[in-house]
Amino acid sequence: MLTLTAPDSIAAYIRVSTYDQKTESQREEISRWLKNHGIDPESIRWFEDKETGKNLKRPAFQQLQKAIFAGEIKTVLVWKLDRISRKMLDGLHTMRFWLNHGVGIVSITQQIDMTGPIGQLFAALMFAIAEFQLSTMKENQAAGIALAKQRGIYKGRKKGTKKLKPEEIRNLRKNLSVAQIAKLKGVTLRTVYNALEKAN
Show which residues are catalytic.
17
Q: For 102, how many CA atoms within 13 A lie in the half-sphere containing its CB?
A: 10
- Cα–Cα dist 9/72, whole Å: 6
Contact predicate 46/14, CB 8 Å? yes
Contact predicate 182/189, CB 8 Å? yes
Length of the chain: 200
φ, ψ of residue 67 to 5 degrees: the values are -65, -40
Question: Could you tell me which of 98, 140, 148 has the C-alpha nearest to residue 123?
Answer: 98
Strand order in the sheet with 75-78: 45-50, 10-16, 75-78, 104-107, 112-113
Helices 178-185, 189-199: inter-axial angle, 10-degree rounding = 110
